[in-house]
Amino acid sequence: MLTINHLTKRYGDKLAVDDLSLHIAPGEIVGFIGHNGAGKTTTLKCAVGIQSFDQGEITVDGHSIKTDPLSCKRALAYIPDDPALYEYMTGRRYLDFIADIFRVSAEARNAKIAELAERFGLTDDLGQPIAGYSHGMKQKLAVISAWLHSPRLIVMDEPFVGLDPRASHELKLMMRAHCDAGGAIFFSTHVLEVAEKLCDQVAIIRRGKLIRAGSMDAVRGDASLEEVFLELEAEA
C-alpha cells in the first residue's frame, strides 16, 4: 500500500530523514514512534506529497508520489498534528468541500457524515463555524473528513492528541475496522501504550534513521514497547 525506499530529506545542512525505507501492507496498522524532532512528521509529510524530498522513492498503491501525486492523493487521507482547517467554513461546509474534491456522491456523503458525526458527538456542531471549535472538535472534524471518502491509506500525525476518551475509543475502533476491510494506516504517536495495543507493525525512528521496524511482537520481544524504546534511545 505504502512503500518508502531510501527516503532522504534535508533542511539546509540538517539531515531530517536519512535513507529511511519502510513498507506498509494492506490490512496493517503501523505505528511510527520516535523522540521530538526525530523526523516523524517530515516522513509523513513526504509520504502524502506535502513536502518534497531529496532522495528516495515513495509509492502509494503503486503510484509514485513524485511523478503521479494525484493518483496517490486520491487513495489516501492525511490528518496533521495541528488540524488547521478553514475557520471561516462551518463544519458541514468543510466536509462538503472535501467530499466534492473526492467526488463523493450526495447520498453517500450525507449518510457517512450523519454516521460519523453521531459517532463523535459532533452532529449539533456541524452547522457552526470552525472558528468556534475547540482543538478536540477540529481533530474530530479532521478525522471525519479523512474517513469521508473511504481512502485506502490513512496517514495520521499524533491523531489522539486533543481527543476525549470516547472519541479516542471510537477512533481506535475505526482504525481497526478500516484495516480489517483491507485498508492501511500509518500514524505517529508518543503514546506507546496505544501503539502497543493497536499496531500490527511498529517503526522506531531516531535522528532521521529508522533504527527498528517489524511486527509488534518481533520488535518488543518479552519486554514492553516502552522498555524497548528507552533501551534503543539509550544505546544510541
Partner 1 sequence: MTRILLKKQLREFFRGWFYDPRTGAARTKANTILMIAVFLGVSLGIPVAMIVSLATSLCAPLAEAGALWLYFAILGLIALLLGVLVSGFGASAAVYQGKDNDLLLSLPIPLRSIITARVLTVYLMGLLYSGVVSIPAAVVCCLTLPLRLSTVLGALVWVLLLSLLALVLSCLLGYVVAQINRRLKNKSYITTIIALVFLALYYVFYIRGMDFISSIASDPAAYGAVPEGAGRILWYFGRAGEGDLAAIGLVLAVLLVLGFLMGRLLIRSFLDVISAAKVTERIKKPAAEKASKQRSPFAALLGRDLGRFTASANYMLNCGIASLLLPLVGAALLWKRALLMEALGEAFGALPGFPVVLLATGVCAMAGMNDLATPSVALEGKSLWIARSLPVDTAQVLRSKLAAQLVVTAPSALFCGLCAAICAAGNALEALGCVLLPLCYCAFTACVDLRLGLWRTDIHWTQEIAPIKQSLNVLFALVCGAPLLILFAGGYFALSDTVGAGVWLLAMAALSAALACVFYRNLMRQGVRLFEAL
Residue 99 engages partner 1 in binding (rule: CB under 8 A): yes
Residue 209 engages partner 1 in binding (rule: CB under 8 A): no
Question: Residue from 10, 26, 97, 136 that binds partner 1 (CB under 8 A)?
Answer: 97
User: Which C-beta is closer to partner 1: that of 56 or that of 69?
Assistant: 69
For the bound state, the minimum distance from the C-beta of residue 50 to partner 1, rounded and expressed in Å, comes to: 5
Question: Residue from 18, 96, 158, 196 that binds partner 1 (CB under 8 A)?
Answer: 96
- Identify whether the C-beta of residue 189 lies closer than 8 Å to the C-beta of residue 175: no
- Identify whether the C-beta of residue 151 lies closer than 8 Å to the C-beta of residue 185: no
- Nearest-angstrom CA–CA distance, 123 and 163: 16
65 Cβ partners below 8 Å, 6+ apart? 46, 47, 48, 49, 58, 59, 72
User: Which C-beta is closer to partner 1: that of 154 or that of 195?
Assistant: 154
In the numeric block, which cell numbers belong to residue 157? 500525525
- Identify whether the C-beta of residue 163 lies closer than 8 Å to the C-beta of residue 124: no
Residue 234 engages partner 1 in binding (rule: CB under 8 A): no
User: Which C-beta is closer to partner 1: that of 50 or that of 211?
Assistant: 50
Residue 2 engages partner 1 in binding (rule: CB under 8 A): no
For 226, the 3-state DSSP assignment is helix
Residue 236 engages partner 1 in binding (rule: CB under 8 A): no
Residue 125 engages partner 1 in binding (rule: CB under 8 A): yes
Cα torsion at 229, 60, 113, 180 (round to 10°)? -60
Question: Residue from 86, 150, 218, 231 that binds partner 1 (CB under 8 A)?
Answer: 86
Residue 13 engages partner 1 in binding (rule: CB under 8 A): no
Do strands 55-60 and 2-11 pair parallel, antiparallel, or not at all (unpaired)? antiparallel
DSSP string, 96-111: HHHHHHTT--HHHHHH
Give the residues lining the site for partner 1 (CB under 8 A). Answer: 48-50, 52, 70-71, 73-74, 78, 80, 82, 84-90, 92-93, 96-106, 109-110, 124-129, 131-132
